[in-house]
Every structure is written in structure tokens, then in C-alpha cells.
Chain A
Amino acid sequence: MLGPADYVLWFLTALLEGAVVLCALKRHTFRRYLALNMYMLGSLVVTILRFWIFSHYGFSSAQYLYFYYYSDALLTVGLYFALITLYSFVLGELQTGRHVRLAAIVLLAGTAFFSYQVIQQSSDRMLTRFVVEMSQNLYFVGLVLTYLLWGAILKLRETRAQIIQLVLSLGLYFSALAATYALRNLYPGLHLVWGHLPELIALSLPLAWAYTLWRIPVEARLAPSRLAVVSR
């Protein structure tokens, strides 16, 4: 049985996901950040479809359960490619586009292979286990990739405020997910907190992106000295 908080978070997530797409269209940045916007548009569609399936079949139904996990895996792959496009923005001047794409494909294939190795001993529901495992592994790959990208931003003295904001929001998102994993292991009794925390984390990403696309102009720059103070 779902409580009012679940419905409110569900509605807010859909609202913010729609806001990101509208902000991008209004500020003419939809094509500039095409992968990010397509991911957010996909998230909005999935959020609405999940609610439709929930209202027709119920929370405990197999339809809701399978749609939830399979759609999550697809969205995680979408977010992975959105993150890779941010690499293209940051490393654009180094002419490394082909190598970034190669590394991204090798990494995705490696993650799929690793996920299969983990679940291959299972006797039932192998595909569903694989999908869930792959999705979970991609969260951690995304976390490492975001920190690497942040290192590249500092090293290359990237100053585009929108790019910096988008990368920071992804860093916060992936870090919060990893922290949720760790804290849930430390304090497994706090069901009320762990039940809603992932939904709040899911809410943070469209909130940060909507703010970035709406309030920060494309040409806005941050001084490198404000990103890191490195004595040389």
C-alpha cells in the first residue's frame, strides 16, 4: 500500500522531468544537449507509463514489477550515453571523439560481460537478474566516470558554467546513490528513510538540470580560480 508521500514524489518527479524538457525547448538548448534531453524525455514517458501500469494492474503486479526494472535498465543506459556526451563537450578541443566513443563501447560491453558473469549461476529469471545487475553496475560505472570527468574539468580549466553544473549534478546524483547503498548496509532498520531516499535522489537530477537550463545562460563562464585553488 502506497502512502501520500509516494504519490507526491511520483507527481513531483514527472513535473520536474517535464520542466527540464520545457526549459531546454524554451532556452533553445534541446539540440545542444540532445542526449541529456532525450534521457529526461524518456524518464518522463517511463514515469507516466509506470503510473498507468500501477493504476491498471496494481503495485504488486508482475506487469508493474517487470516494467519497472526493465525501464530502469534502459534509462540507465540512456544516462550512461548522456554522460559520455558531456565528455565530448569537455574533451572536444582535444579531438578525442573517436577514442571516447571506443572507450564508452568497450566499457559498456565490459559491464554487460561482468554482469553476466555475476548472474550466470542463477537458475531462474536469468534475463531479469541480468537487467537488474547491469543497471546496478552501470550506476557505479557512472559514478567513476563522473569523478573522472570532474578531474578533466579541473585539469583542462573548463569554464562553461552549464557544463560544470550538469557534471556536478550528476556527481551528486551518483554519489548519493552509492551513499544510500553504504548507509543501508550500516543501518538496515531505517526502512522509512531507505524507502524514500532513492525517489528523492531521482528527484534531484531533474531539479538540478531544470535550474541549470533555465537560470544559467549558455555563454555563462566561471573563473577557473573559483573551481579549484591550486598552488603552483
Chain B
Amino acid sequence: MSRKLNSVLLAVLVLTAAMGLKTIVTAHSNTPVVVANAGGPLPPTPW
């Protein structure tokens, strides 16, 4: 049971770190979309 809880805790910590990093990196940005999967030029966002 404790190993399962550890897994969940680790997942939450990773999510917190990732979203914190994203907040720092994209702060004060109004065009933050970056896509790098497969080929093709990036179209403008639909909004």
C-alpha cells in the first residue's frame, strides 16, 4: 500500500514540477504554443 502511495506522490511531485517549470518559462507570453511532433509547418491557433 505504501509503495502505491509513493507512486501517487511521485506523480503529483512530477506534475507540480512540470507545471511550475511551464509557468516560469511561459510567463508574460501571449503566443506560447510550440509543437514539435511529426513534420509540417505550425498553423496559427484557432483563437
Contact = CB atoms under 8 A, between A and B. Distances in A.
Q: On chain B, which size bracket covers the interface?
A: 35 or more
A20 interface: no
A139 B10 CA distance: 18
B7 A198 contact: no
Contact of B37 (A66, A79, A132): A79
Interface residues of A, number: 70
Interface string A120-160: 00101100110010011101110111001000000000000
A135 B27 CA distance: 18
B29 A75 contact: no
A140 B15 CA distance: 9
Contacts of B22: 136-137, 140, 181
* Chain A interface helix/strand/loop/mixed: helix
Contacts of A137: 18-19, 22
A103 B44 CA distance: 34
A10 interface: yes
Contacts of B37: 43, 46, 71-72, 75-76, 79, 202
A142 to B, nearest CB: 8
Contacts of A66: 46
A109 B17 CA distance: 16
Contacts of A181: 22, 25-26, 29, 32, 34
Contacts of A71: 37-38
A50 B47 contact: no
Contacts of B32: 136, 181
A96 B18 CA distance: 23
Given A106-B11, A143-B18, 20 more contacts: A2-B41, A10-B40, A43-B37, A50-B40, A51-B40, A72-B35, A99-B7, A106-B7, A106-B12, A125-B46, A136-B34, A137-B19, A143-B21, A148-B14, A178-B21, A181-B22, A185-B25, A185-B28, A198-B35, A202-B39
Interface of A: 2, 6, 9-14, 17, 43-44, 46-47, 50-51, 54, 59-60, 62, 64-66, 68-69, 71-72, 75-76, 79, 99-100, 102-104, 106-107, 110-111, 114, 122, 124-125, 128-129, 132, 135-137, 139-141, 143-145, 148, 173, 177-178, 180-182, 184-185, 188, 195, 198-199, 201-202, 205
